[in-house]
Structure 1
Amino acid sequence: MKNDLIAQNQNSTIIAQYHFTPRVSKSYQSEADLERFLLKELEAQGYERLTLKNTEELENNLKAQLERLNNIQFSQSEWEGFYKEHIANENLKVEDKTRLLQTDNESLPFCNDKGEHKNILLLNKKDPLKNHLQVLSQLSNDSGKAKNRYDVTILVNGLPLVHIELKKRGIDLKEAFNQIRRYQEESFSASHALFEFVQIFIISNGTYSKYYSNSKRDFKSLNDNYTFCISFSDSKNNKIEDLEDFTKTFLAQRTLLSILTKYCVFNTDKELLIMRPYQICASEKIIDKIKMAHSCKLYGSIQGGGYIWHSTGSGKTLTSFKTALLATQLDFIYKVLFVVDRKDLDHQTQKEYDKLEKGAANSTNDTKELKRRLESEDGKILITTIQKLSNFIKKYENSKVFNEEIVFIFDECHRSQFGAMHEAIIKKFKKYYIFGFTGTPIFTENAGKNYTTDLESKKLMLKTTQSTFGDCLHSYTILNAIKDKNVLPFKVSYLSTMQQKDQENKEEKVSRIDTEEALMHEDRIKKIVSYILETFNRHTKRQNAYTLENQRKQGFNAMFATASVDFAKKYYAEFQRQIKANPQKEPLKIGLIYSYEQNEDLDEPCKDEMSAKAFLSEAIKDYSRCFKESFSLEKFDNYYKNISQKVKDKELDLLIVVNMFLTGFDSKTLNTLYVDKNLKHHSLLQAFSRTNRILNEQKVYGNVVCFRDLEKDTNESLAMFGDENASSIVLLESFEVYFKDYCQKCEELLEHFKLENIAHLTKEEQKAFIKLFNEILKLENILSVFDEFTEERDPLPKRAKQDYQSHYLELYRDFKQTQEKESIAEDLSFEIELIKQNDIHADYIIFLLEAYRPNTESESKKENILKLVQSSPSLRDKTELIEEFLNTIDNNKNVDFKSSFIAYIKEKSQQELDSIIKEENLNADETKDYLQDAFEINFFKDQGKKIQDLLPNTNIFTKGSYAKRQEAIAKLKAFFEKFQAFLKKEEM
């Protein structure tokens, strides 16, 4: 069998196209067979094969490799000093080690025995091929919480920078991901924590192979999620998944070293981002185009540029940022200008760039500052609006920069980059390279009536993305993005909100009625607002939380796109009216934002008494009162920035908009878009795409609810920016399809796994039960947002579902504790994240307690509470605690459950903590402070200097001292986990 790489640039990271040869099915392939193949293939590709038994031998090899890379010979004392300070320093966190590898100034200071100062490289980023690659397998690490053996590790200059976890064919790939997570918890931080230097994790079951970054774990990073694992591909977006193909491409030395040294970004949130293949390909295409155009003197023409068509939500900011950085490294490039078409995007882009690398790019407040920065030798990347750039051209027409070689990167080039300002820029600058990024290009079909004069033929031609920027250098459509699971598909509902009768007294759809008077009728507005308020928790997956605070934590939030400012005003007023009319419910936090004409016509009959400006001013006052802020219309920019952040932080439940926020705004927490607005072509897809950013495993689609019949426009838009069959992939199936499958699986569950028999299942039957219940959970997660999915229609009774879930969690606990290499757990994937979505929090326990009053039914109510607790992943281990409390109030009919429960938890936690402090001889004050911080950030860090300082001083060489300290830490962690759901910092 032969797999060829075709049309590959020797310097390209992403191959042009991979030739796949159909594979003939072979005999059974075990995990060991996969490992042997991988090692043999890497050796053939030039990797040095190592046989190391333990981490001590790993450290010795590291010394030799750093000596080779730096052309130096360490004495034993020199090495011990350097190693202890820069490599094995216990104060270095995972993010500190990543920073050492990913910052441009990656050399480390070193002073030898003679007092001479030198710089030591860990990774040669300037000349990647000078780094030395080694591969080893089955390295043992016995120093952590559990003994582990790692499948395959790739060393770069002796440091483990790539770790590969394998599973045999047929096993769920997620199990490899889960195993790496277990290693991170149990042993990667042990033995001088060399495995915390890992930058890339690779998981493969032979059939599928993916990669992802070793990002931070202290605060439950979003990247620490199986959803964010990446598939490799060629430049045509063909996935390269089989381990054999993946090894020949991704693990080729040039490719792997290029990704490690050029296509990783360590952002200011201390997260390591690895670029996806289409992002790398786009960057390389642009850089190659610049080099070619410079060489052939094609700058200043359309032949020296092009555009990138990457689906909305596929990471354009990271692509453009890395492209800009790489362009500044070309010695003939004077500046790189990132051009946006709105003032709010100027701020947003600066913020996003700052998040990737603080200070790498600079925005400008006005034209004067733009001139200063353009003419300064400092700061090679500038962010500006097209308006400021146009003003600069008019005001400073003799500036020296017009003769410099400048790269222009236009953001969202589908919008307003085709006008007079754009033409003025390309006429004035003599040596420009112009590139555009868009998720929805302007083609002839959606160009409208925008014409320009072709310079060669002198004929009128439509202004399209291609006619303005040049050829498409790389495309990655929404179809590609959804197939690769880089963005989510859409669930689109079309709801008829009014009907009219024709001459034959037959009803017709709302699409036939298109007059503003009918659409703005107050009865229709009331009906839509009432529907949104009634269904909001279901649409945003908040329905299982019993306080608004927990609803925001558990679920998502929404945006409402309205047809005009007048519509927005009417909807906002009606929301406020209906919310005030129902004071017994905790109100949703609703915001409003739009742009308005400064000199609007107040005499038009359709206008309200209050002008758009005055109405927005009052809405901003409402917002300020709600969040205890002091915003005003005069400081609109500050209001815009704040409301944008409130949406991203899930503090705002619903944002009403007209045009703003429907393009260029990204929030992973937003899952629902309500639409009462005519949309088509690129505008429709841009608006819908506000909902489909990946967040976690509970968010499986973007939910779009249309109050107008946009079905035809939706299908046309998907055909234009995907293909004519795109709707079958981009849109979810109907409710009936999922519900039928769900009913069949529930019927199978009730028939084959009767509750009374679950405890007696064999291992194989347990596996079948887990797999079936997983499928039910996934389908329920999809169905939960459909209006048709009610409790009455659910074939699985609520009580039975709780009992099945309790058994499911018990099996999960048992299998998790089984850590033998060939454990049954390795054949299983537990969908615990989907249960957590429906988690029962402490507030719900109090809610249940209020219903629990000592009477003739008290025992059944008590049993019901305990069953609910047992079916919750976070409360299951607290069953005994809650049962003890219930026993204390059996004979008290007038008890205040909330205050009693809180008092009981405080007393119980204090008793247990005092007992631990006394038993382990801990520093009382520091221990309480440490736990207060843990409860505040909702995370217990069981390693590091701070927790070691809580423990009594002991001689580390005394037998059993290490085990004694670990036992004390384990007790504190168990205490934290027991009371985590009930205690906050101020309650300790």
Structure 2
Amino acid sequence: MSKVEETERMTQNRVVELFTEKLGYKYLGNLQDKDNNRNVETRILRNYLRRKGYSEGLINRAIYRLNSAIKNQIKSPYDINKDVYGYLRYGAEVREDIGENKLTVRFINWDDVYDNEFYIAEEVSIQGEHTKRPDIVLYVNGIALGVLELKRSTVSVTEGIRQNLDNQESVFIRPFFHTMQLVMAGNDTEGLRYGTIETPEKYYLSWKEDEKAQDRLSREVRELADGVEHILDKQLIGMCHKQRFLDIIYYFTVFDRGIKKLCRPNQYFGVKAAIPRIVQKESGIIWHTQGSGKSLTMVWIAKWIRENISDSRVLIITDRDELDRQIEKVFKGVDEEIYRTKSGRDLLEKLNETTPLMLCSLIHKFGARGVKDDDASYDEYIAELNADLPPDFEAKGDIYVFVDECHRTQSGRLHTAMREILPDSMFIGFTGTPLLKKDKATSIEVFGSYIHTYKFDEAVKDQVVLDLRYEARDIGQQITSQKKIDQWFEAKTRGLTDYARTKLKQRWGTMQRVLSSRSRLEQIVRDIIFDMGTKDRLQNGRGNAMLIAGGIYEACKYYELFQVAGFTKCAVVTSYVPNINDIKGETTGEGKPTENVEKYRIYQGMLNGRSPEDFEEEAKRIFVEQPAQLKLLIVVDKLLTGFDAPPATYLYIDKRMKDHALFQAICRVNRLDGDDKEYGYIVDYMDLF
């Protein structure tokens, strides 16, 4: 055995001992030379089901159903894994004989963790098109639910991640992963990384215990972890403690529109902190910073409520259309039906009935001209609720109310109004924004104390979101800088011969003089186009940018200026809906179009016959999925909350903003998106900081 192999062997021996001695798993052995290793060890599963009292006939039919799902050769790995997960979570409904009632055979006892049998095996040889041998496999009742690849300290954990991804390819052992729930890799220097089936390398997560958590399981995990030295061992205890392992699989796994996802630590501990408060019906606030997965946290809390509290219903209140749509999309994406109410009256009618069980309601509505006022929107919504309240109104069910963006000062008035309608309900306020001193007292007074917090600096440290880099730009000085023009010229002429560069430079000799005479908007347009040609992620098409304009007219002018400059891969997304009535009475006789006429003309030209709704959806899709094809989104108020676009790398601000609105806006560019996105960049044309 070489020294390299000896080092890895020592780590693996230690990990096996950790599982058997500290976590109580049974050792299934080194299965390198065992034939026909499978993801369901039938002998173990049969023995478990016999112990649970099922007849041989039920056992045979249940295992047949499970194996049929695992061996499906038509469906995608995602769909097969989803079907198998359904059997694991809910059991298999089978009949003893034809004509008899169906009975549910449960492969795992989720209610009593320690009634199950946990096993660890190493060097598990799996036959496929090419045989592979995962280092560690974890079984519950004979069903393989976890896999772990180990690397020595001097080899990056990414090699273990890529090994897991290779193993899921059809040329290797893809069917073995049809039962897998946790897919892990680790070493002694970087610790543990985890994902699930088909998780891309860049989305593997790192587990971290919450030192603030005081539940029994968290205290027990911390006590066990304190007794080991290596970070890998500590994190394995955190994730693979029997109760935690099954907890994550049962409560914190979702199949989201073709992507299987597991919780981040902050989501896990946020939900866990909420549960005792929900049981006691003690309202409070969950503050999880922008980009840390607040929507899925809502999903997991709502699912827990629906599954554990009889007669429960969940109402989610938002004050932005894009947040309302996002919540509906997230819930339906994970197969949780949620009804979007059409008005305050519709909400009251639905609450007065026994269904639907989950609802979302939108406070904020944009006016026809795109003018909005938060105070007016809240007041109108509350007035509508009071005006439409039937005299015999009595909300049906045990209702739990989630209020999104609860940091807004208007939430207090809303809370009071909703309390009158739903006096027995529990309220949970969610925010991704720090509560400012002027709002903090009001929010805590209204909703109660913090249930759980996960702040921006924690998320950056945990590599859940990216840190931000800020630059204030003086447009006149930036654009007329000879150094900057030379830098732009160098970027544009890479690869040309010296002769060609000299001839081209003569043509650009007047660039400084021309740019210095441009209007402010034109100068900003040229500045952004300069970045598009010189900043790595903008230049190579892997990243893109957003520009916040001061108003809808300014956004339209920006769009037109970019088009004139030949930069066509941009779009405007605002609340504006062009209407012919907008330009009636706008003729001045002076031959110069008014702002309303200009806005209408530019917007109609951009839409090119499409509805604003269809145009917006397509623009958002391309911006997220094909960043090289839509390099710049120009916005005013829309998409500054609830819009998750990992490619977005630069945010240009040309609008007066402050407090919550500013923080939410700059966090549009803090999402992870591969190793070449190191930071989110904020370019400030308004000297806001």
TM bracket, shorter-chain basis: 0.7 to 0.9
Distance 1:341 1:599, change over 3 A: farther
Contact 1:100–1:106 (CA under 8 A) maintained in structure 2: no
* Match 1:202 to one of 181, 184, 194: 184
**Number of the residue aligned with 1:709:** 687
Distance 1:59 1:670, change over 3 A: closer
* Match 1:496 to one of 474, 482, 487: 474
**Number of the residue aligned with 1:94:** 77
Counterpart residue type for residue 122 of structure 2: S
Aligned-pair CA distance for 1:675: 1.2
- 2:237 aligned with 1:248: yes
Distance 1:609 1:468, change over 3 A: farther
CA deviations 1:707-738 (Å, max 9, x no partner) are 2334xx2xxxxxxxxxxxxxxxxxxxxxxxxx
Q: Distance in 1 between matches of 2:619 and 2:75?
A: 37
Aligned-pair CA distance for 1:331: 2.9
Distance 1:468 1:612, change over 3 A: farther
Q: Distance in 1 between matches of 2:536 and 2:301?
A: 36
Distance 1:103 1:211, change over 3 A: farther
Report matched runs for 1:480-491 at 5 Å.
Answer: 480-491=458-469
Counterpart residue type for residue 492 of structure 1: Y
1:435 counterpart SS class: strand
State the superposition RMSD in angstroms. 3.6
Gap runs ≥5 in structure 1: 1-27, 217-222, 294-303, 448-461, 501-520, 545-553, 580-585, 714-988
Counterpart residue type for residue 556 of structure 1: G
* Match 1:562 to one of 524, 549, 554: 549
Distance 1:175 1:362, change over 3 A: same
Contact 2:191–2:232 (CA under 8 A) maintained in structure 1: yes
- 2:593 aligned with 1:593: no
Flag the structure with larger Rg: 1
* Match 2:252 to one of 243, 253, 263: 263
2:135 counterpart SS class: strand
Aligned-pair CA distance for 1:620: 3.3
**Number of the residue aligned with 2:658:** 680
Contact 1:408–1:433 (CA under 8 A) maintained in structure 2: yes
**Number of the residue aligned with 1:418:** 411
Counterpart residue type for residue 417 of structure 2: A
Q: Distance in 1 between matches of 2:610 and 2:577?
A: 21
Distance 1:180 1:417, change over 3 A: same
Q: Distance in 2 between matches of 1:476 and 1:600?
A: 48
Counterpart residue type for residue 121 of structure 1: R
Counterpart residue type for residue 253 of structure 2: C
* Match 2:48 to one of 53, 68, 72: 68
Aligned-pair CA distance for 1:422: 3.4
Report matched runs for 1:34-73 at 5 Å.
Answer: 34-44=11-21, 45-51=23-29, 52=31, 53-54=33-34, 56-58=36-38, 61-69=41-49, 71-72=53-54
TM (norm. structure 2) is 0.79
- 2:285 aligned with 1:307: yes
Distance 1:468 1:355, change over 3 A: same
CA deviations 1:889-915 (Å, max 9, x no partner) are xxxxxxxxxxxxxxxxxxxxxxxxxxx
Distance 1:434 1:119, change over 3 A: closer
Contact 1:211–1:229 (CA under 8 A) maintained in structure 2: yes
Identity across aligned pairs (percent)?
A: 24
CA deviations 1:369-424 (Å, max 9, x no partner) are 32332233233211112365762343115354458542111112223543533321
Distance 1:323 1:566, change over 3 A: same
Distance 1:351 1:58, change over 3 A: closer
Counterpart residue type for residue 46 of structure 1: G
1:431 counterpart SS class: coil
Aligned-pair CA distance for 1:126: 5.0
2:610 counterpart SS class: coil
Aligned-pair CA distance for 1:101: 4.2
**Number of the residue aligned with 1:474:** 452
- 2:403 aligned with 1:407: no
* Match 2:116 to one of 112, 121, 131: 131
* Match 1:374 to one of 341, 351, 376: 351
Report matched runs for 1:834-849 at 5 Å.
Answer: none
1:567 counterpart SS class: helix
* Match 1:339 to one of 290, 293, 317: 317
- 2:348 aligned with 1:365: no
Aligned-pair CA distance for 1:211: 3.8
Contact 2:283–2:447 (CA under 8 A) maintained in structure 1: yes
| Relative contact order higher in (CA < 8 Å, ≥ 6 apart) | 2
2:134 counterpart SS class: strand
Aligned-pair CA distance for 1:350: 1.0
Aligned-pair CA distance for 1:199: 1.1
Contact 1:282–1:474 (CA under 8 A) maintained in structure 2: yes
Moved more, 490-499 or 118-127: 118-127
CA deviations 1:86-140 (Å, max 9, x no partner) are 3333335422332134448733344567886544334444554443211111111
Q: Distance in 1 between matches of 2:168 and 2:577?
A: 53
2:147 counterpart SS class: strand
Contact 1:337–1:383 (CA under 8 A) maintained in structure 2: yes
Aligned-pair CA distance for 1:487: 0.8
Distance 1:705 1:68, change over 3 A: same
Contact 1:136–1:152 (CA under 8 A) maintained in structure 2: yes
1:365 counterpart SS class: coil
Contact 1:540–1:672 (CA under 8 A) maintained in structure 2: no
Q: Distance in 2 between matches of 1:476 and 1:79?
A: 43
Gap runs ≥5 in structure 2: 364-377, 479-516
2:620 counterpart SS class: helix
Q: Distance in 1 between matches of 2:446 and 2:585?
A: 39
Distance 1:270 1:572, change over 3 A: closer
Report matched runs for 1:385-534 at 5 Å.
Answer: 385-386=362-363, 391-402=384-395, 405-415=398-408, 417-418=410-411, 420-444=413-437, 447=439, 464-498=442-476, 523-534=519-530
